[in-house]
Amino acid sequence: NAGVTQTPKFRVLKTGQSMTLLCAQDMNHEYMYWYRQDPGMGLRLIHYSVGEGTTAKGEVPDGYNVSRLKKQNFLLGLESAAPSQTSVYFCASSYSMDRGYNEQFFGPGTRLTVL
């Protein structure tokens, strides 16, 4: 099993450009999440999904959009990139809390720089 994979691993954008980050998981997890990690700020939740076709806002959703058309994929879009979106982006997946736990399985991360 590949677990959680992310594409791309690195990307440099110019201000105003758009891009999509792809997350894929092969563990049949119901929930998927997008986080950003900045120095000293920990992990901040951008958006999450509790099932195919559903999405919800997290702590820092502005400037991002997401879609979950298939259970195994969760896409994060930046419509007009800004330097403040320079960060490391982690995707994660988990089982639903119906099991009593939602251990996060993280992808390897995408390092995004916006110039």
Partner 1 sequence: GENVEQHPSTLSVQEGDSAVIKCTYSDSASNYFPWYKQELGKRPQLIIDIRSNVGEKKDQRIAVTLNKTAKHFSLHITETQPEDSAVYFCAASGGSNYKPTFGKGTLLTVNP
Which CB sits closer to partner 1, 19 or 50? 50
Residues 56 and 67: beta-carbon distance below 8 Å: no
104 counts as binding partner 1 under rule CB under 8 A? yes
Residue 106 in contact with partner 1, rule: CB under 8 A: yes
Name the token pair of 69: 């058309």
* Contact (Cβ atoms closer than 8 angstroms) between residue 4 and residue 23: yes
Cα distance between residue 14 and residue 77, in whole Å:
15
Return d(Cα 29, Cα 81) in angstroms, integer: 30
> Phi and psi of 109, rounded to 5°?
100, 155
Nearer to partner 1, 7 or 15 (CB): 7
| Of the residues 8, 15, 82, 103, which one makes contact with partner 1 according to CB under 8 A | 103
Give whichever of 67 and 104 is closer to partner 1, judged by the CB atom. 104
| Beta pairing, strands 31-38 & 56-57 | unpaired
Residue list 7-66, contact with partner 1 (CB under 8 A):
31, 33, 40-43, 45, 48, 50, 58
* Contacts to partner 1 by CB under 8 A: 31, 33, 40-43, 45, 48, 50, 58, 90, 96-97, 100-104, 106-109
